Amino acid sequence: MDGGGAPVAHPAVRPISFLLGNWKGEGEGGFPTISAFRYGEELCFSHHPSKPVMAYSQKTWKLDSGEPMHGESGYWRPKPDGSIEVVIAQSTGLVEVQKGTFDSEEKIVRLKSTVVGNASKVKEINREFKVDDDGGELSYVVEMATNNVTPSQPHLKASLKKI
């Protein structure tokens, strides 16, 4: 434990430790080819201090019935130069490799897909995660391009509170 009582993170993970924890809230989705929708969501970022990697898991559900919707999980690997590599497996079977940058002052991570695999329609996925100044709220946006829709258009945005 450090002076603040928080667990000590691996040095590689410290610059993005603003993401660590459990986050819960609601999001809204859309795309030029589909109807708008809302969803409930829980995200978890965790790590072990001996590893230079953060584990990520996400689940979503229908707000009226609680029925599960999309889920995904993966690993976030920040590098000392401010770049970051992320791998994500989605419940739909799609896999993605994301590369991007993080800014520990602004508490932002920006990602662009370098690989989208096993996808029927998706060509590209961009993600941006931001934590607010006091560290209590995480918001993100996801954009994608498909066979029919380019360039990338918004698909998801959500705002989650630390729980």
Upper half-sphere CA count for residue 128 (Cβ side, 13 Å):
9
For the bound state, the minimum distance from the C-beta of residue 131 to ligand HEM, rounded and expressed in Å, comes to 19
- In terms of CB distance, is 29 or 100 closer to ligand HEM? 29
Of the two residues 48 and 121, which places its CB atom closer to ligand HEM in the complex?
121
Which CB atom, from 17 or from 113, has the smaller least distance to ligand HEM? 113
Interface ranges with ligand HEM (CB under 6 A): 29, 31, 33-34, 37, 39, 60, 69-70, 90, 94, 121-122, 125, 142, 144, 146, 148, 155-156
Burial-class residue 36 by CB neighbours within 10 Å (0-12, 13-18, 19+).
Answer: exposed
Q: Which residues contact 116 (CB under 8 A, 6 or more apart)?
A: 94, 95, 96, 122, 123, 124, 125
Nearer to ligand HEM, 37 or 75 (CB): 37
Q: How far is the CB of 21 from ligand HEM (least distance, A)?
A: 19
